[in-house]
């Protein structure tokens, strides 16, 4: 006994921890020992109980009747403890399902969890099991995209100590509960911006020194609803650039997996032979499901929007990016965070900009702050111009409106006002005109005179061109210096078309065709323009003459040859 309680002598003092007489320090050490004991208890429970419960789960799965009989027998044997035993067994049997649901949520990040909670890393437990058995009850966050405190604060019916992530997966998500990034993460601001701007998440790449130099087009989607206009033009350009530079072409999509057949349809419809020399990659911006994109020195990336440009710039050398600018995308948004970021992309002198049409080029780059890397421009081609019109099978003429209610720049509601005014004043007589609305997100429409337009969505490329060749008059609006494609598509198909003026850059589109009428975007101005369009559409001889004299280009190869030569020459100079 004396040996156990021998006081520390001077010869033993060096072995004692500094301040070991400090009660607060001793309390800390005792708490540490208690935590270690708890962790050891969890480890023992897992190692001893998991194998038998795994076997029991298998028996219950294969022999449910026998399992029910066995549980009833245990209830009898255990007497007053039967309820507690049954509950404990049930909770234990459900535990693996909890783990599966937590892991399947996509919100548990084991590396992040261990990095931000060192106790979990030192416990020796699997991170997911540690979170399920210990961390969740302490209110710890499972990953960088889920704040337990935020979830509990905004879901007062969920009590403290509840596994918040499990509640969200099983109940909260279905009822629309919101989540927020973890505030534990040191890079909270980065995560907050990532949630606000998901389109700007960096393209996920890795270096592959053995890969050939490629042309990679980065876009949201090449599926049927996305291929008209700008994306189709970018696909044509990327294909011609790859062939000019004798490089493989790769199409990288970010919002949905690509449909390769659409690539072939677009190219062949625009007079470009399909050679099957394209690789397709889905690199999702929303999760880690997408494929990593391998890159090599000398790769070129063709981007189709300011946000795909931003995402690509975050991962590769900005000087390797060719941004195909086909709209003043700053105008997609009110003045704010989005428009500022868009402007920053346009102002980045390291990025090569190729602009769709001279009017848009003048609007973006001819001011005092000229782009340091002199951008170039092109005028689009319309091979469909060479295809004869479809024969009319009805006595009425056909009117079509390019209708996109959710794209504010397309002035959908102003278009409804103008069409209604034209019907009421007699320009568009329902007895002599059939009405068609083509676009996206369309809802039933009731116009004056009992007019119920036919609503057309999700047409394929060939069906779209065939439809336009049956039209006599169209209305297509765009609050932009760029003409947009529908007015030019309609003119190329032989129809008269009314569009709106915009600033000094778009007062007339006579440089393309005399069948395009530009009117002031006021209701009165557009109603008058539709009146002129009706007269032109009914004067088939004059409309046909205007069509023959149109200056619409028809050969994409000729359109992009100078641009491809310029890019190839610039790249050769830097590599030389």
The predicted structure's pLDDT at residue 18: 39
Average pLDDT over residues 348-367: 89
Q: Work out the widest C-alpha separation in the chain, in whole angstroms.
A: 122
Within 8 A by CB and 6+ apart from 217, the residues are 234, 235, 238, 249, 250, 251, 252, 301, 302, 303, 304
Confirm if 381 and 233 have CB atoms less than 8 A apart. no
- Measured from the Cβ of residue 239, the count of other Cβ atoms closer than 10 Å reads 27
The predicted structure's pLDDT at residue 283: 92
| pLDDT tens readout for residues 232-272 | 999 999 999 999 999 999 999 999 998 888 888 889 888 89
CA–CA distance, 176 with 179 (Å, rounded to integer)? 9
Within 8 A by CB and 6+ apart from 59, the residues are 66, 67
pLDDT, the chain, mean:
84
The predicted structure's pLDDT at residue 80: 43
The predicted structure's pLDDT at residue 503: 87
At 69, the pLDDT band (50, 70, 90 cuts) reads: low
Integer CA distances (angstroms), 295 to 205, 298, 303, 317, 322, in order: 7, 9, 15, 11, 16
The predicted structure's pLDDT at residue 384: 83
The predicted structure's pLDDT at residue 562: 94
| pLDDT tens readout for residues 485-539 | 999 999 999 999 999 999 888 999 999 999 999 999 999 999 999 999 999 999 9
Most confident of 363-372, 416-425, 452-461: 416-425
DSSP H helices, 469-555, are 485-492, 523-538, 540-548
Determine what percent of the chain is predicted with pLDDT higher than 70: 79
Q: Is the pLDDT of residue 315 over 60?
A: yes
The predicted structure's pLDDT at residue 124: 87
At 352, the pLDDT band (50, 70, 90 cuts) reads: very high
User: Which domains, from first to last, does the chain contain?
Assistant: 27-91 (no CATH), 105-196 (no CATH), 213-380 (3.40.50.11090), 384-548 (3.40.50.2000)
| pLDDT tens readout for residues 273-293 | 888 789 999 999 876 556 789
Q: Which is more confident, 562 or 227?
A: 562
At 76, the pLDDT band (50, 70, 90 cuts) reads: low
| pLDDT tens readout for residues 122-148 | 888 899 999 999 999 999 999 988 999
Please give the model's pTM, rounded to 2 decimal places: 0.69
| pLDDT tens readout for residues 191-232 | 788 888 999 999 989 999 899 999 999 999 988 666 666 899
The predicted structure's pLDDT at residue 436: 96
Q: Is the pLDDT of residue 333 over 50?
A: yes
62: phi then psi, degrees, rounded to nearest 5? -90, -30
Q: Is the pLDDT of residue 91 over 70?
A: no
The predicted structure's pLDDT at residue 66: 58
Residue with tokens 């389109």: 199
Confirm if 28 and 35 have CB atoms less than 8 A apart. no
């Amino acid at each position: 006994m004396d040996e156990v309680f021998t006081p520390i002598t001077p010869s033993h003092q060096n072995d004692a921890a500094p301040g070991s007489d400090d009660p607060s320090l001793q309390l800390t050490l005792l708490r540490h020992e208690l935590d270690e004991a708890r962790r050891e208890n969890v480890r023992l429970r897992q190692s001893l109980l998991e194998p038998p419960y795994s076997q029991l789960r298998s028996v219950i799965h294969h022999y449910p009747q026998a399992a029910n009989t066995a549980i009833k027998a245990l209830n009898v044997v255990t007497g007053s403890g039967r309820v507690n035993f049954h509950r404990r067994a049930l909770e234990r049997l459900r535990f693996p399902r909890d783990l599966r649901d937590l892991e399947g949520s996509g919100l548990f990040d084991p590396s992040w969890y261990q990095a931000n909670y060192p106790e979990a890393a030192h416990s020796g437990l699997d991170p997911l099991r540690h979170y399920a058995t210990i961390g969740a009850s302490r209110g710890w966050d499972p990953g960088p995209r889920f704040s337990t405190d935020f979830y509990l604060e905004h879901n007062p019916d969920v009590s403290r100590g509840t596994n918040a992530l499990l509640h969200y997966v099983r109940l909260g998500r279905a009822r629309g509960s919101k989540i927020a990034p973890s505030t534990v993460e040191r890079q909270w601001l980065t995560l907050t911006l990532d949630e606000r701007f998901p389109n700007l998440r960096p393209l996920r790449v890795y270096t592959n020194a053995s890969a050939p130099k490629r042309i990679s087009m980065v876009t949201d989607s090449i599926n049927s609803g996305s291929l008209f206009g700008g994306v189709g033009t970018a696909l044509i350009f990327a294909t011609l650039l790859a062939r000019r530079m004798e490089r493989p072409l790769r199409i990288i999509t970010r919002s949905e997996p690509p449909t390769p057949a659409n690539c072939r349809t677009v190219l062949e419809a625009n007079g470009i032979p399909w050679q099957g020399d394209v690789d397709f990659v889905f690199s999702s911006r929303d999760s880690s499901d997408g494929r990593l994109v391998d890159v090599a020195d000398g790769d070129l990336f063709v981007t189709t929007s300011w946000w795909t440009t931003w995402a690509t710039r975050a991962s590769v050398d900005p000087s390797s990016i060719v941004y195909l600018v086909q709209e003043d995308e700053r105008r997609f948004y009110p003045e704010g965070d989005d428009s500022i970021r868009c402007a920053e992309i346009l102002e980045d002198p390291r990025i090569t900009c190729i602009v769709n049409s001279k009017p848009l080029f003048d609007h973006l780059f001819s001011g005092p702050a000229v782009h340091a890397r002199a951008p170039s421009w092109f005028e689009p081609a319309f091979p469909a111009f060479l295809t004869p019109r479809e024969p009319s099978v009805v006595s009425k003429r056909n009117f079509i409106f390019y209708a996109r209610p959710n794209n504010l720049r397309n002035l959908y509601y102003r278009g409804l006002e103008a069409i209604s005014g034209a019907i009421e004043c007699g320009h568009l007589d329902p007895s002599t005109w059939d009405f068609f609305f083509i676009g996206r997100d369309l809802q039933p429409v009731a116009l004056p005179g009992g007019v119920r337009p036919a609503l057309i969505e999700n047409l394929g490329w060939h069906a779209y061109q065939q439809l336009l060749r049956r039209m006599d008059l169209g209305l297509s609006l765009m609050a932009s210096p760029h003409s947009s494609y529908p007015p030019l598509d309609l003119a190329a198909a032989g129809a008269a078309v009314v569009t709106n003026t915009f600033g000094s850059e778009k007062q007339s589109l006579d440089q393309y065709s005399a069948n395009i009428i530009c009117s002031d975007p006021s209701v009165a101005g557009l109603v008058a323009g539709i009146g002129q369009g009706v007269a032109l559409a009914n004067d088939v001889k004059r409309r046909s003459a205007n069509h023959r004299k149109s200056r619409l280009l028809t050969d994409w190869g000729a359109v992009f040859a100078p641009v491809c030569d310029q890019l190839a020459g610039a790249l050769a100079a830097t590599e030389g």
